[in-house]
Every structure is written in structure tokens, then in C-alpha cells.
Chains A and B, each alone.
Chain A
Amino acid sequence: GAVVSQHPSWVICKSGTSVKIECRSLDFQATTMFWYRQFPKQSLMLMATSNEGSKATYEQGVEKDKFLINHASLTLSTLTVTSAHPEDSSFYICSAGPGQGSNEQFFGPGTRLTVL
């Protein structure tokens, strides 16, 4: 199946700093990627839809100025958590689908963010 990678797999940062998370589709091109957030023992919540070459679409309640998304190429989307605070500590996961009639979404391995 298709492979999606994420980097870094984990990061610890101080409150007030910014953290960038990369999501790459390794063997297919993705015009659309999705960013989810998962708190412990909870479900995955969609944060935003990342569109190659255009602005991301954010879900209600997600601050677009805090969670900056850039989808500059067909294989890379980045999520930058700006001015991170402890409440932003979570598991961030991206996904993409190969399209071409497939309804399967492939998930990256996730990035665990801890803000001190």
C-alpha cells in the first residue's frame, strides 16, 4: 500500500516556541492531505484539509493563525504549531489518499508533541 511519512516522530518544546511537522507521501502524489489531532484515550479529530497550491480549509474551532499549514508540493504538507502551549500537547497525525478511485486513506506514523 501507499506510504505516508511524518517527521519528527516526537518533539518536546518549551512554551511559546513554534514547532513544524512534516507529512510526506512517499510513493504517490497527494493534492489533498488531512491533519488530525488525537488526545490520549480519545478519537481522531480533523483539524484541517491541506490543499496543494491553495489555502488550507480549517475545521470549526481550529485557529488558522496558530496552526499554519503549507502544502507546497504534491508530496509534502507541513503543519506549524505557533507559540505552542501545554494544551497543544497531543498526537498529530496526517493522512493522504492515492486517489484514482481508491477510498483508502493512509496515515502517517504520527508526531507526539509535548509542550513544557
Chain B
Amino acid sequence: GQSLEQPSEVTAVEGAIVQINCTYQTSGFYGLSWYQQHDGGAPTFLSYNGLDGLEETGRFSSFLSRSDSYGYLLLQELQMKDSASYFCAVIKQAGTALIFGKGTTLSVSS
């Protein structure tokens, strides 16, 4: 089987830093992606890691350790608009579909 584990909920205040962890167990691994989804909307791409290490894109960073089957999404300088669901997703082979984790609901308060 395959599984992607991430916390179900995280709460934080504006301006804070939040880390959302993802551990995965899949029959094949090519890379780890992160997506954001607001209520009623479609997922939007945030970041991708194919190799170990940190990828930084503005306020968001993502990290991958292939040997630990572990990654995280780091959100800095949180804003109210960051309140959403965040999904980690594994790509098992290039060009194949995403296998999504169960998602983490982030609530940012003022």
C-alpha cells in the first residue's frame, strides 16, 4: 500500500512561521509536491522537490529528505489569506498522477 501522513490541523497567528510535515510510504518515488486549496477551489501548485534539500519560493519553502521519506512545507510571515488546506503529494514516476496526502487545514488568526 501507500500512505502520506500529515497533521490534520494547524493553527497560527498572523506573522508567525508554520511548518507542515509530510511522511510518505509509496511504491516508487520521483518527487514531492505541495498544493494549496481554498474552500471550494481547485488546488494550486506551491512547490516541488525532486532532490534532497530546501526549495525557497517567496514566503514558502519546501524541504525533502528522500532517505527519511520526509518532507515539509514552511510558511513564513503568515497572512490571513494563507488560511487554507495544504496537501503534500507524491509523484511516483515522471509524468504520472499525484498521490495526495489527507491534507492539513491551516487557520491563521489575527
Contact = CB atoms under 8 A, between A and B. Distances in A.
B31 A103 contact: yes
A106 interface: yes
A105 B45 contact: yes
A57 B43 CA distance: 22
Interface stretch (B11-19, B59-67, B90-98): B90-98
A1 B102 CA distance: 26
A107 B95 contact: no
Contact of B43 (A32, A42, A93, A99): A93
Give the interface centre of A44, A99, A108 by most chain B CB atoms within 10 Å: A44
Q: How large is the interface on A (under 10, 10 to 19, 20 to 34, 35 or more residues)?
A: 20 to 34
Contacts of A93: 42-43
A103 B33 contact: yes
A75 interface: no
B71 interface: no
Interface of B: 30-31, 33, 35, 41-45, 48, 50, 87, 91, 94-103
A55 to B, nearest CB: 16
Contacts of A103: 30-31, 33, 48, 50, 91, 94
A104 B43 contact: no
Contact of A46 (B48, B50, B99, B103): B99
A105 B33 contact: yes
B102 A43 contact: yes
Interface in A14-35: 32, 34
A42 B35 CA distance: 14
A45 B99 CA distance: 8
A24 B45 CA distance: 18
Nearest to A6: B42
B13 to A, nearest CB: 24
